Structure 1
Amino acid sequence: MPDRPTPPNVGLTEEESANGFRWGEDSILPYQVSDDYDREVRPGKLDVVAIENGRLRAVVAPSLGGRLLELKDLETGRDLVFRNPVFQPANLAALNAWFSGGIEWNGLIPGHTPFTCAPVFAGVRDTPRGPVLRIYEFDRIVEATWQVDLFLPSDGACLYAHGRIVNPSAEAKLAYWWTNIAAPMGEGTRVLSPADYSVEHIWPGNNLGRCEFPRPDWDASYPDNWENATSVFFRAPHADRRFVMSVGRDGFGLGQTSTGEMVGRKFFYFGSAPGGQNWMDYLSRPGEGKYLEIQSGVAPTQNQRFVLGGGAELDWTEAFFPVRLEAGRAHDAEYGAAVAHAADFVDGAVPPTELAEIDAFLREQARLPLDGRVSEGEPWGQRQELLLGRPLAAGLDFAVTAPDDFWDELARGSTVSERSLRQVPEGIAVSQVWTDRIAGSAAAQGTSWLHELALGTALLDRGDRIAAYEHVERSLALRPSWPAYRLRALMAVDAGAASADYLRAWRTGEAPAELAVEIATHFMAAERPAELKAFVEALPAGIRDNERIILARAVVAADAGQFDELERLLLSRRFATIREGETLLSDLWGRLRRGRLEAELGRLATIDEIRQDLTTHPLPRALDLRMHQLED
């Protein structure tokens, strides 16, 4: 999330404000960023699982978080969800990499699922009513399990998705869930959902506040009427039934409804301005990436979590179905009339009694084991079961086949081997159950540089800087390592001390290339241009070509007034990892244009002169990834 203060809510109810969180302030540990991608599209293969019944076909990618990539109406040949022709990640999620298209299962932390581009467990359960395709994983921040069981009845035009979250701990947890459905977007597409009013991000402050919906002066139910990226949360607290649908000009589209556990409904659109349109092209192919998202969540808004009690389970069932409304009534100028027509269609497509019966059936099946697995997820669920000494959730098998390492030895309670102590292990563990086990291991066999490093990492993540510093110092005394120097840099009281430790970490010769990006970012944030210049110029050629290092070199060029070099670097490639809300590209373009203008004038330029120059030399389309025009 952008590292900016979260503005206060305006005019929201207690229900709409409960269990709120502040964007950008939550740690992503023990997860790590996923940023190993570029914008070079090439042919490739992706393993998928398909289920169909003659009317609908659903295609799921277990290696990409269980994303439902395709939902096709076989009767009409229409794609009900946006089927992206490419896999192109972008920096839009809590862990960085995210891609557009299909149906995304977003839990259990905000900011898109940590499993967006990661493998999850998947398998099939044979039932008397047909197969159920299950995807599931263990979330390491909430320390709870999630699953989605997909069921396509043999005689219907509706795909059911049964969600289940299990908290195996005795302690209550705060969790999160939104299902994001990418819907095809054409001219005249409209979103229909019961609404007494809406909750939206209000600019220029970006406050989450209550708004009129429908609007008296313009129709906000047509996403293309929004210039800037927007999120509209539909609020109808007393509605008989909640649903959301996207319908084209001809009345065809996709609908979603659910059992009562899901109270939130929303649509998101990148906006009609150049920045938003560029994002959609970037995530797909030029001219082929236009889509909108209709969404459903457990809480009223996406600035909230919900409470999951100790030992509690939460179940719900969603239904996804093709929509065919009368075009004139779907686009009635009276929004309430159009929603009423849509509600009648939902009741016919997914009768409440039928949804309740399917929900009861899937609740029973959700707790029963699979008959066969087709995909394996991460080893952390199995490790958690070893730590706790019991299964995490009925019906979920977290067994994996992988070589033992430091974390496996700790989870089993065995002595950490000399082999494991010779290297930095893959992954991080920061929760209390893990730190208790690490401390117990250190006490039993004698501490090591790796025990101390792991404890220092976990304590810093909790904000206990004093205790974390002591563990890091002990780790460095036992064996200097790049991660320990990096941790000490993060705890440094001034930029000079941080810079020195960052450089010590880099000079070990063992650090990954990603650390060079972090060091360059530190020098930029600390406004240490001389050190930034010296550092990036000394990097090996392969690392200097990393796009974040190229941007650091562009900052060096801007600081030095080397505007030809700045322009060359900015236009040297299509940048892949620009963050949602990040304005570095437009800021550098502004510095370029201002520098050249003032060189021509031979004096400082006025604000009006700078604005006129940017009108004459606007931000190139390839660099325009602004989410809101107020960002300029």
Structure 2
Amino acid sequence: MLTLPAAPLGPDNPLPALRTPGPAHALGPEELAALPRDMARGIGRAPLRSLLPAPVRDGYGRDRREASLDALVLENDRLRVTVLPGLGGRIHSLHHKPTGRELVYRNPVFQPAAFALNGAWFSGGVEWNTGATGHTTLSCAPLHAATVPAPDGTPMLRLWEWERLRDLPFQVDLWLPEGSDFLLVGVRIRNPHERPAPVYWWSNTAVPERRRVLAPADTAWHHGYERGLRKVPVPAGEDGTDRSRPEHSTHAGDWFYDLPDGGRRWIAALDEDGTGLVQTSTDRLRGRKLFVWGTGPGGRRWQEWLTAPGTEGYAEIQAGLARTQLEHLELAPESELSWLEAYGPLAADPAAALGPDWAAARAEAERALDLALPRGAVDAAHAAWREGAADTDPEPAAVLAAGSGWGALDVLRAGHVLPGTPFPETTLGAEQEPWRDLLRTGALPPPAKGAVPFPPQTAPAWRDMLETAPADPSTEYHLGIAQWHAGDRAQAVRSWERGLAGAAVRWPLLYCLAVADREEGHPERAAHRFAEACAELAGAVDGPAAVTAAAALTREAVDAQLAVGRTGRARALWEALPGEVRARGAFRLLEVRLLLAEHRPAEARAVFDAGFEVPDLREGAEVLGDLWSRTGAEPLPAAYEFRMRP
């Protein structure tokens, strides 16, 4: 177990994630035309239409208390690795015993924030990002974990799960050969379907900010919060500033290094004595990236928000399948991708590695890496891991942690054979039970009385089954969600309208129709339906879920009323919430918006002065600064300074 101050995750949002993800990484036609053709093709490949079927995870707060987190430890005589199987398989610590050094940035707290595609994410260590551009929906979710024998016979920790955005299983194997200073990580993504699938992967390592970051490249693709993607020289950018040192950047930004073909893939973060962490891999893992928060007030505030005041800042060094995180590759039907990564200490001559000659610095780091872990050794370790049935797919010897039951449900449906990563029926739970009933009987059961709707399924095979199931209101609700996700919005609306006509519990269908109206450019009708859904929800859900559902629905409903100038209706909806909900930071923010819409700037300013925090404030959000400026006050207090753009 790992004990540290932690904010509880809280309940998931019960509303289906119908909204199209925001355009944080979108590029315009002119920008795409200026890029290499294969890069532009990868950026345009299979963009997400929604976050379905993943749930939105926004139930966390910022009240941290000492808590115990499940932890697994992998250890040899050189390294001790601490892994959090219940939180995406995150490596929390990578401790080098001979030097007593922590090789990664180890966050002293567990504080969720709204950085994952579906919400809850936390900073620090090494995370495994798959699915689509951004932090994975599994950031704060449990993975399956077990021990299996490594190629050299030592114990290997296997993590695996079924990623639902792209409907693909993946595994991460971690092992420490005896006497080795390097953690070896084998990754495999499978496509068991008869159709191609978009695939995405970035391994994301947090390192202390006061480091020099080296990678074997002379140019990089720069992406900042002012958007756009352009090629720049490294380490000295267009303004001559040495961007290999994170503390030299004022604003947040990404540098995707343009590694030449044929060269070794690696990235390192070195201290002032020339020592630090290096990550290297087989050639399949093509991309390398540096992310910095910047030294501006917004970047510093985000660092405090994600860690704890007074702690050391961090940067991120990352490795991915494509050149940039905006791209996706295509995985052929019934095929797989695999590669091997290695993480360990690097000791380079500081005079060269930290000096002004970039070519000499890179050469020194690569020389030190070749001595510590030759390129051929990485390739050989990958071959040993993948070659031969005994090494490829050893069955787990001891199960250490359980993930979700979604993989078991799909294996049950399609009969997928996935040696080495079992998804047994014993992992099926209450969330999967209605869908297993659909498999058994051809009919989807209604939700329990007083409960919120059970989680959706949106993959084509499940949509096909819903289309042939008896058309009761619950089935029409879920069919409409699957159709919406597939891009057939008109048919989704027809399904929800059919369900509404005979529904005893109307609020879930009204919510879906309200979102459809908003997304399709009918804000007045959307506002009316959101308000009607709130009225129908009252008394329809029992227990703690009633408060969770009311908070989630009312938050969107108030926003919809304000969008069309229905200030009185927005006020009534907000005031109908329990006092405990209205006291939350997100609803204090709604109160500020209400007061400004009512032309009461002094009272809006008083809410700011009293102080509030919005736990699920999105990365890059500027709403606090915008609302503060409308109160007529300047400057923005540091507590509300989250702006990231120049």
Matches within 5 A, 1:384-399: 384-391=410-417, 393-399=418-424
- Aligned partner of 1:197 among 219, 237, 240: 219
Match of 1:65 in 2: 88
Would you say 1:543 and 2:581 are equivalent positions?
yes
Superposed displacement of residue 323, structure 1? 1.3
Matches within 5 A, 1:251-262: 251-262=274-285
Distance (whole Å) between structure 2 residues aligned to residue 584 and residue 554 of structure 1:
11
Matches within 5 A, 1:455-470: 455-470=479-494
Q: Decide which of 182, 207, 210 is 1:183's aligned counterpart.
A: 207
Deviation at 1:209, TM superposition (A): 1.2
User: CA shift at 1:278, angstroms?
Assistant: 0.9
Among 136, 139, 145, the alignment partner of 1:116 is: 139
Out of 630, 636, 641, the residue aligned to residue 591 of structure 1 is 630
Equivalent-residue separation in structure 1 for 2:311 and 2:304 (angstroms): 7
Q: Quote the residue 1:106 is aligned against.
A: 129
How many Å apart are 1:81 and its aligned residue?
Answer: 0.5
Q: Contact 1:103/1:179 (CA < 8 Å) preserved in 2?
A: yes
Greater mean alpha carbon deviation, residues 562-571 or residues 454-463: 562-571
Of residues 316, 319, 341, the one that matches 1:293 is 316
Q: Is the 8 A contact 1:386 1:412 kept in 2?
A: no
Contact conserved, 2:48 with 2:132, CA < 8 A, in 1?
Answer: no
**1:479-521: per-residue Cα shift (whole Å, max 9, x none)?**
1421101111122262222122112211122360211112122
Which of 623, 627, 631 aligns to 2:644? It is 627
Who is 2:290 aligned against? 267
Q: Which residue of 2 aligns with 1:519?
A: 557
Q: Which blocks of at least 5 consecutive residues in structure 2 are unaligned?
A: 1-20, 541-545
Structure 2: which amino acid aligns with 1:30? P
1:561 aligns with 2:561: no
Could you tell me how far apart the structure 2 residues matched to 1:124 and 1:47 are? 16
Determine which of 173, 180, 193 is the counterpart of 1:149: 173
Shift of 1:559: 2.3
Secondary structure of 2:86's partner? helix
Aligned to 2:502: 478
Write the deviation string for residues 524-567 of structure 1: whole angstroms up to 9, x where unpaired. 34443333223212322122223222111101112233233212
Distance change in 2, residues 1:266/1:348 (3 Å): same
Equivalent residue letter for 2:347: R
Structure-1 separation of matches of 2:446 and 2:616: 38
Question: Contact 1:102–1:181 (CA<8 Å) still a contact in 2?
Answer: yes
Of the candidates 295, 308, 325, which is equivalent to residue 302 of structure 1?
Answer: 325
- Residues 447 and 453, structure 2, Cα contact 8 Å, conserved in 1: no
Count of residue pairs brought into register by the alignment: 599
Q: 2: CA distance between counterparts of 1:459 and 1:401? A: 25
CA 1:289–1:35 in 2, change beyond 3 Å: closer, same or farther? farther
Which secondary structure does the structure 2 equivalent of 1:19 belong to?
Answer: helix
Counterparts of 1:79 and 1:99 in 2: how far apart (Å)? 19
Residue 21 of structure 1 deviates from its aligned partner by 4.0
Q: Using the alignment, how far apart are the partners of 1:118 and 1:390 within structure 2?
A: 23
Q: Give the Å deviation of 1:379.
A: 1.0
> Which AA in structure 2 matches 1:132?
M
Q: Deviations over 1:192-245 (max 9, x none)?
A: 0011311002675x2111112232722111111110001001112235211100
**Counterpart code for 1:380:** W
Alignment of 1:163-178 (within 5 A): 163-178=187-202
* d(CA) in 2 for partners of 1:208, 1:562: 41
The offset of 1:402, in angstroms, is 2.5
Superposed counterparts of 1:208-287, under 5 Å: 208-215=229-236, 217-287=240-310
Identity score, percent: 33
Pair 1:44-2:67 in alignment:
yes
Unpaired segments ≥5 residues, structure 1: 595-616
Q: Which residue of 1 aligns with 2:524?
A: 496
- Show CA shifts across 1:401-422 (max 9, x none): 5246312212345554577688
**Cα shift readout 1:575-602 (whole Å, capped 9, x = no counterpart):** 22111111110011111126xxxxxxxx
**Is residue 562–residue 597 contact of structure 2 (8 Å, CA) maintained in 1?**
no
Q: CA deviation at 1:307?
A: 0.7
1:331-342 alignment runs, 5 A limit:
331-342=354-365
Q: CA deviation at 1:356?
A: 1.5
Specify the SS of the correspondent of 1:589: helix
CA distance in 2, matches of 1:418, 1:28: 23
Say which SS state the counterpart of residue 512 (structure 2) adopts: helix
Report the CA distance between 1:53 and its aligned residue: 0.3
- Amino acid in the other structure paired with 2:154: G
Query: Where does residue 346 of structure 1 map in the other structure?
Result: 369
Does residue 556 of structure 2 align to residue 532 of structure 1?
A: no
> Is residue 63–residue 120 contact of structure 1 (8 Å, CA) maintained in 2?
yes
Q: Distance in 2 between matches of 1:3 and 1:529?
A: 28
Moved over 6 A (4+): none
Call closer, same or farther: CA 1:411–1:77 in 2, change over 3 Å: farther
Pick aligned residue for 2:76 from 34, 53, 67? 53
Cα distance per residue 1:405-463 (max 9 Å; x no partner) = 312212345554577688544311111111112223x1xxx321111111111112223
Q: 1:312 to 1:22 in 2, by over 3 A?
A: closer
Contact persistence 1:278–1:624 (CA under 8 A): yes
Bigger mean CA deviation after superposition, 355-364 or 116-125: 355-364
Residue identity matched to 1:485? L
Whole-Å separation in 2 of the counterparts to 1:463 and 1:527: 30
Mapped pair 1:402 → 2:434:
no
Matched, 1:507 2:524: no
